[in-house]
């Protein structure tokens, strides 16, 4: 029996069943039926086809990574023949064909161990000669265990060292660690013989008295960024332990200070966890020697102490201050002359800072936006700014798909259904991939109290949240989230969520400012501010191109209501800046106009005009005179219908079985209106469905009573 290289469980071999998917395997067999389904293997790209990528596993077996397994388009892969990749064996068919799956881990260091899969011997540690040696003769591979060049055949076994390069102390060795004089070897606060060890100044002398042990010279505390100047030196680092990986050789601690992150290797014996009492998220002091391995710096740990009290707080604050300084953008520079944006400069900077901090700390960013043209444009602006920074921050080839996601929301409301799905996904990712809880950014969504239950669930787990919304944000929402950008906070003029999000995005990543210039003008259905129209013109979008793009995005927003794919929207928003109708936006916009004009024509012919207290209200039965579940949806149809009949009616009301929609230019508070209707029809179950959509929900059996009360209450505002 031996121990699992990850958890230490007694197993036959080197890995337990629970952690087999956390290890990377090198295949040494010669036929497909010798592969183990479910394992992750190192492979080499052999070639490409329309349906996927062929990958060599070992020297004699080739499998197919079908394009359906990829989370990006096949033609967007930056792989070339011969490139090393990491895949999972999903199935071995009777005819010898091998089906492969995509691995989100595309670097050896992202696995928690490397093993050989040899059909003749089972799985074993990666041999030393597979990993190579450094100049001193020490193996530089995680799986190797070698003898120090200074160790003679007669020397103690304790002089044998692993990848960390730190010799295990002989029995009785002590060293001073930190200010509390605790002593520790790589296994914890005990000597190498397993007995408790006293502090240095209390060690017994041969005659029973107290011997005074000369303290080692205090190491200089340096920053991670300066380690290049200290190769070969013993140094002291202070920071946060952000990751712990148990390899088949040493334990690797990722230590982050205010200047960067470095791998610190600690070795007890092959596959055995060093410093088992140290956990991720703790602040620590680490002493060790700086070495360069495989072109990267690494600290070979000699002592590791968890800080507490004031020492821990000081390091935590130092890291937090440095992160804020790095993440906070420079002075606000709006995309165009816009008083609303200028009034919200502090809020814009805070939102941008939150997003940049998430990227820098490898926290995924999830953008949740309304499934409308404004929502998609706003979400795309943040996506455009964030993706390049994510790619720069991570070494993973698929980082842009793993650390950023954009998901539409129906009605711009973040309800318990949405929150439950998000929480389940983020907890699963944390459990399976040690992923940090994501930052949720809500654009054109989440600003009203209908989303409070969803925010409360996120807050239970401490997931940070930002809201960027053009409507009046409810005070309870402001209290529930970490940052808000809304005109209502500064009593500023009305705008669109895209205008706000594009300005936030420009401060998240200044390199994409020119890409974002046309988006605000596109997001206004009418009366776009001249400053943004000019900005769009400068970007190559004339009036026709602006209209086409808006309508094209509105159409695709409907058909992608439950999708989070980004390529088509990206092609529309950033890939077609031509005004001719032959472009992608022009083609899709033509479909939009045909469908909308037909529906509006039908609706206009069936409007029921009612005069209530001198107010002219146009009523449409949306169930009888619109196509259900087809484009355009009721919300967009009523928007277009109101713009069409605005000169003849003060308001348009759409009525369905249990939902009522209101469209008007009057200054009407939907929450107050709903409260009054509920008082008038107490048995109607009247609630606000979505302030953004102007929709009210009620019990179908009380439809006529609710409609009558709604028309009377609405007329009072007109």
CATH number for position 98 = 2.40.50.140
Residues 269 and 338 in one domain: no
Query: Quick one: average pLDDT of 151-179?
Result: 35
Its domain, for residue 616, covers 606-717
pLDDT band at 593 (very low <50, low <70, confident <90, very high): very high
Q: Which pLDDT belongs to residue 125?
A: 67
The answer to whether residues 551 and 367 touch, using CB atoms and an 8 Å cutoff, is: no
Statement to judge: residues 344 and 487 lie in one domain = yes
Are 32 and 109 within one domain? yes
User: Which pLDDT does position 268 carry in this prediction?
Assistant: 86
Residue 45 or residue 133, greater confidence: 45
Cα 351 to Cα 331: distance, rounded to the nearest angstrom: 14
The pLDDT assigned to 287 comes to 95
Q: Is the pLDDT of residue 76 over 80?
A: no
Looking at residue 25, the DSSP 8-state letter turns out to be E
Closest to 386 (Cα-Cα) out of 523, 510, 230, 217: 510
Mean per-residue pLDDT of the chain: 83
In the structure, what pLDDT confidence band is assigned to residue 502 with cuts at 50, 70 and 90?
A: very high
Cα 256 from chain centroid (whole Å): 20
Query: Who wins on pLDDT, 591 or 160?
Result: 591
What confidence score (pLDDT) does residue 604 get?
Answer: 95
Whether residue 173 has pLDDT greater than 60: no
Half-sphere exposure of residue 298: CA atoms within 13 angstroms, side-chain side: 24
Average pLDDT of span 476-484: 95
Quick one: 341 and 275 in the same domain?
A: no
Q: Please check whether residue 561 lies inside any domain of the structure.
A: no
Residue 668 has a pLDDT of 84
Same domain, 176 and 246: yes
pLDDT of residue 217: 61
In a domain, 152, yes or no: no
Average pLDDT over residues 549-567: 86
Tokens of 73: 């388009």
* The pLDDT of residue 129: 42
Are 243 and 354 within one domain? no
Provide the CB-side half-sphere exposure for 536 (13 A, CA): 30
Residue 553 — very low, low, confident or very high, per pLDDT cuts 50/70/90?
A: very high
Residues 403 and 432 in one domain: yes
Residues 81 and 170 in one domain: no
Residue 522 falls inside a structural domain: no
Q: Provide the number of structural domains found in the chain.
A: 4
224 with 111, same domain?
Answer: no
> Does 35 reside within a domain?
yes
User: Among residues 96, 125, 154, which one ends one of the domains?
Assistant: 125
Quote the CA–CA distance of 522 and 525 in Å, as a whole number.
8
pLDDT at 447 over 90: yes
The stretch 200-206 carries a mean pLDDT of 37
* pLDDT mean over 67-73: 76
Under 8 Å between Cβ of 252 and 262: no
Of residues 666 and 535, more confidently modeled: 535
More confidently predicted of 619 and 104: 619
For residue 341, what pLDDT is reported?
Answer: 94
pLDDT at 394 (0 to 100): 77
pLDDT at residue 195 in the model:
36
d(CA 257, CA 647): 63
Alpha-carbon dihedral 678, 683, 685, 688, rounded to 10 degrees: -10
For residue 57, what pLDDT is reported? Answer: 92
pLDDT digits (tens, 9 = 90+) for 265-303: 998 887 789 999 999 889 999 999 999 876 788 999 999
Q: What percent of the chain has pLDDT over 70?
A: 84
> What pLDDT is stored for residue 563 in this prediction?
67
CATH of residue 637: 3.10.310
Contact predicate 525/643, CB 8 Å? yes
- State the pLDDT confidence band at 127, using cuts at 50, 70 and 90: low
Same domain, 319 and 364: no
- Looking at 388-397, 425-434, 628-637, which range is the least confident one? 388-397
Residue 139 pairs with which residues in a beta bridge? 133
Q: How far apart are CA 65 and CA 101, in angstroms?
A: 6
Angle of the 345-360 helix axis to the 373-393 helix axis, nearest 10? 40
- pLDDT for 270 equals 76
Boundary of a domain, candidates 498, 514, 530: 514
Q: Report the residue count for the chain.
A: 718
Q: Residue 192: pLDDT band by 50, 70, 90 thresholds?
A: very low
**Lowest mean pLDDT segment, chosen from 70-74, 398-402, 576-580:** 576-580
What does the block give as tokens for 547? 């209209």
What confidence tens digit (pLDDT) does each residue in 211-232 have?
333 345 678 899 999 999 999 9
CA dihedral 126, 127, 130, 135 (to 10 degrees): 110
Q: Region 389-417: what's the mean pLDDT?
A: 86
Query: Do both 83 and 185 map to the same domain?
Result: no
- Pick from 514, 530, 563: which residue ends a domain? 514
Q: Are 251 and 376 found together in one domain?
A: no
Query: Is 588 strand, coil or helix?
Result: helix
Residue-wise pLDDT tens digits, 313-331? 999 999 988 888 888 987 7
State the pLDDT confidence band at 123, using cuts at 50, 70 and 90: low
pLDDT value at residue 305: 94
Here the CATH number for the domain that contains residue 506 is 3.90.1640.30
| pLDDT of the residue at 330 | 78
Asked if the model's pLDDT at residue 240 lies above 50, the reply is: yes
The confidence band for 78, taking pLDDT boundaries of 50, 70 and 90, is confident
Instruction: Tell me if 592 is assigned to some domain.
Output: no
Residue 372: the pLDDT is 94
Report how far residue 230's alpha carbon sits from residue 284's, in angstroms, rounded to the nearest whole number: 20
Domain assignment present for 92: yes
Tens of pLDDT, residues 626-650? 988 889 999 999 999 999 999 899 9
Contact status, residue 160 vs residue 150, Cβ threshold 8 Å? no
Q: What are 24's two structure tokens?
A: 């990377």
The full DSSP string for 618-668 is EEEETTTSS-TTSSSPHHHHHHHHHHHHTTT-SEEEEE-SSEEEEEESS--
Is residue 170 one of the residues assigned to a domain? yes
Which whole number is the average pLDDT over 438-452? 95
Average of per-residue pLDDT across 686-715: 94
State yes or no: pLDDT of 334 exceeds 70. Answer: yes
pLDDT number for residue 1? 64
Q: CA dihedral in degrees (349, 350, 353, 354; nearest 10)? A: -150
């Amino acid at each position: 029996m031996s121990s699992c290289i990850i958890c230490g469980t007694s197993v036959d071999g080197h890995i337990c069943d629970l952690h087999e998917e956390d290890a990377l395997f090198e295949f040494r067999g010669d036929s497909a039926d010798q592969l183990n389904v479910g394992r992750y293997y190192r492979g080499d790209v052999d070639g490409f086809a329309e349906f996927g990528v062929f990958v060599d596993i070992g020297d004699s077996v080739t499998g197919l990574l079908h394009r359906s397994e990829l989370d990006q388009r096949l033609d967007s892969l930056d792989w070339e023949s011969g490139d090393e990749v990491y895949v999972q064996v999903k199935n071995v068919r009777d005819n010898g064909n091998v089906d492969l799956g995509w691995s989100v881990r595309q670097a050896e260091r992202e696995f928690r161990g490397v093993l050989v899969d040899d059909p003749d011997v089972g799985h074993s540690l990666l041999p030393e000669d597979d990993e190579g040696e450094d100049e001193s003769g020490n193996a530089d591979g995680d799986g190797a265990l070698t003898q120090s060049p200074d160790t003679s055949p007669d020397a103690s076994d304790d002089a044998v060292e692993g990848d960390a390069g730190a010799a295990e102390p002989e029995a009785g060795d002590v060293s001073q660690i930190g200010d509390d004089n605790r002593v520790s070897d790589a296994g914890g606060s005990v000597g190498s013989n397993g007995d408790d060890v006293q502090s240095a100044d209390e060690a017994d002398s041969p005659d029973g008295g107290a011997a005074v042990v000369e303290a080692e010279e205090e190491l200089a505390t340096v920053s991670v960024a300066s380690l290049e100047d200290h190769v070969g030196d013993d140094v002291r680092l202070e920071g946060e332990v952000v990751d712990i990986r148990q390899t088949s050789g040493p334990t690797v601690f990722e230590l982050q200070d205010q200047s960067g992150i470095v791998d610190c290797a600690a070795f007890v014996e092959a596959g055995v966890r060093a410093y088992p009492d140290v956990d991720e998220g703790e602040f620590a002091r680490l002493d060790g020697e700086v070495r360069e391995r495989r072109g990267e710096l690494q600290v070979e740990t000699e002592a590791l102490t968890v800080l507490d009290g004031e020492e821990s707080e000081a390091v935590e604050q130092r890291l937090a201050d440095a992160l804020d300084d790095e993440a906070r953008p420079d002075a606000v520079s709006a995309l165009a002359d816009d008083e609303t944006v200028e009034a919200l400069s502090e809020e814009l900077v805070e939102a941008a800072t939150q997003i940049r901090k998430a990227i820098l700390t490898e926290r995924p960013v999830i953008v949740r936006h309304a499934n409308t043209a404004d929502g998609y444009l706003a979400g795309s602006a943040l996506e455009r700014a964030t993706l390049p920074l994510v790619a720069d921050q991570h070494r993973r080839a698929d980082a842009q798909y793993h650390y950023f996601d954009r998901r539409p929301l129906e009605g711009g409301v973040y309800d318990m259904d949405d929150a439950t799905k998000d929480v389940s996904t983020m907890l699963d990712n944390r459990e399976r991939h040690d992923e940090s809880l994501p930052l949720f950014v809500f654009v054109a969504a989440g600003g009203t109290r209908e989303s409070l239950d969803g925010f409360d669930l996120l807050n239970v787990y401490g997931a940070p949240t930002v809201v960027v919304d053009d409507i009046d944000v409810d005070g309870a929402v402001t209290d529930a989230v970490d940052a808000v950008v809304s005109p209502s906070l500064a009593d500023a003029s009305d705008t669109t969520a895209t205008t706000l999000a594009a300005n936030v995005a420009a401060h998240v990543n200044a390199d994409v400012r020119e890409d974002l210039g046309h988006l605000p003008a596109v997001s206004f259905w009418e009366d776009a501010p001249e400053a943004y129209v000019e900005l769009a013109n400068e970007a190559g979008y004339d009036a026709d191109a602006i209209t086409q793009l808006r309508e094209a995005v509105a159409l695709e927003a409907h058909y992608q209501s439950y999708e989070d794919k980004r390529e088509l929207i990206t092609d529309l928003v950033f890939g077609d800046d031509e005004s001719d109708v032959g472009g992608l936006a022009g083609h899709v916009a033509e479909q939009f106009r045909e469908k909308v004009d037909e529906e509006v024509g039908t609706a206009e012919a069936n409007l029921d005009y009612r005069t209530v207290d001198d107010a002219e209200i146009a009523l449409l039965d949306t169930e009888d005179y619109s196509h259900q579940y087809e484009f355009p949806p009721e919300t967009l149809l009523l928007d277009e219908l109101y713009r069409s009949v605005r000169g003849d009616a003060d308001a348009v009301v759409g009525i369905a079985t249990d939902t009522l929609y209101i469209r008007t230019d009057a200054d009407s508070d939907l929450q107050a209106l709903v409260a009054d209707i509920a008082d008038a029809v107490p048995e109607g179950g009247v609630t606000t469905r979505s302030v953004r959509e102007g929709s009210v929900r009620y019990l179908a059996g009380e439809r006529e009573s609710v409609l009558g009360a709604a028309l009377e209450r609405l007329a009072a505002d007109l």
